[in-house]
Structure 1
């Protein structure tokens, strides 16, 4: 069964139409996605490789963990749910910013969050979602972004994340 999402407008207002995520992607309809940049207490960033059997971007690396915002769900709730489902961790992600992401399969509103994972060893990634994960320093991640095959939006999200941190520090 495909996830159900809400069709939203260019101001991120719900239009009252519930569709499958597959249909939203096929039709190019705006919908909501929540993602989280995970850091440990040493400042390293979690990077993971998507499982090979996933329908969207199998085997590619990602800088964020996340997924579709369900019907009636907030970005924050969706981000927390995805962290639990994909990494087995329960932390409250902090909302940072949103933007219309036009990179990838279809346009969507992307709510970007940040979470500090107190103990990186407690990450229990779901093998159906995550084939590999590791913690990289920012310089290591910058190199990896040039060398490894990342999802189309990873570069843009990481760039905006770094800019957000500079502006809000």
Structure 2
């Protein structure tokens, strides 16, 4: 059996653990936790996914993250994914959650944010390139066909909240 995630319902209530691959194959709702990383200047971290990734290989994204493991909260998953993918441990703050119909499979997407002012060490199995970009640059990149489709909706929702990005490290 592969990675276990919590299968959830349309209200994000846990139904029980399932294999993530099966959840995707059967279009069962499960949880995905992501992080929007910004530096002290407010720029966004954008990255290109590794070419051999099983989902969205070689495409660009502004969030890092992945499936929340069975029994793991969104926040716990976000903090774990941030460390695994970027090699940093900084506080994460919940921003929003929504039911994403997804290009591959539907899932609940929990978006968090973090201020990252230290050097990152991207996992080369996950990330092949990265850069810090302005909001305008990010919006332009999100309009390209090489940007993860699910991330375009997430970006629209994230930016439409109308809240300013944190300027200081989160508590």
Q: TM-score, normalized by length of structure 1?
A: 0.93
Name which of 131, 134, 146 aligns with 1:137.
Answer: 134
Partner of 2:106: 107
Once the two structures are TM-superposed, the CA of residue 70 in structure 1 deviates from its matched residue by: 0.4
CA distance in 2, matches of 1:164, 1:89: 26
Partner of 1:98: 97
8 Å CA contact 1:61, 1:148 repeated in 2: no
Once the two structures are TM-superposed, the CA of residue 117 in structure 1 deviates from its matched residue by: 0.5
Q: Do structure 1's residue 69 and structure 2's residue 43 form an aligned pair?
A: no
Partner of 1:125: 122
Listed one character per residue, the Cα deviations across residues 110-139 of structure 1 (whole Å, up to 9, x for unaligned) are 0010000023xx110000000001000011
> SS in structure 2 opposite 1:34?
strand
> SS in structure 1 opposite 2:71?
coil
Q: Mean Cα displacement is larger for which, 140-149 or 93-102? A: 140-149
Once the two structures are TM-superposed, the CA of residue 103 in structure 1 deviates from its matched residue by: 2.3
CA distance in 1, matches of 2:137, 2:156: 15
CA distance in 1, matches of 2:5, 2:142: 30
State the number of aligned residues: 166
CA distance in 1, matches of 2:10, 2:144: 34
Structure whose residues are more often helix by fraction: 1
**Unpaired runs of 5+ in structure 2?**
167-171
**Unpaired runs of 5+ in structure 1?**
none
Q: Do structure 1's residue 45 and structure 2's residue 44 form an aligned pair?
A: yes
Q: TM-score, normalized by length of structure 2?
A: 0.92
> SS in structure 2 opposite 1:89?
coil
Partner of 1:150: 147
Q: Do structure 1's residue 85 and structure 2's residue 84 form an aligned pair?
A: yes
8 Å CA contact 2:37, 2:116 repeated in 1: yes
Once the two structures are TM-superposed, the CA of residue 144 in structure 1 deviates from its matched residue by: 1.4
